[in-house]
Amino acid sequence: MRAVKTYLPRAQQDDIVKELSANLYAQMEDREAELGRHLTEAEDEELLKQHGHP
């Protein structure tokens, strides 16, 4: 999130980072619910990579 924050307008940085974080955590929780287990570190990384470079 720190890398993304540097690309955002200063006045909106905190709000956008909070929204992005909430979205990512929701996606992780949804995927964990589908699998019935916690995601591995590799699965966490893959989910983040799907969103591309900041």
**What are 8's two structure tokens?**
């955002």
Helix axes 41-49, 13-35, angle to 10 degrees: 130
Domain ranges of the chain: 2-49
Tell me which H or E stretch contains 34: helix 13-35
Stretch 10-37: mean pLDDT: 96
Stretch 34-52: mean pLDDT: 95
- Label residue 36 by pLDDT band (50, 70, 90): very high
pLDDT at 50: 92
Instruction: Sort 31 into a burial class: Cβ within 10 Å, 0-12 / 13-18 / 19+.
Output: middle
User: Of the candidates 1, 33, 6, 7, which has an alpha carbon nearest to the alpha carbon of residue 20?
Assistant: 1
22 versus 1: which is more confidently predicted? 22
Round the average pLDDT of the chain to a whole number and report it: 94
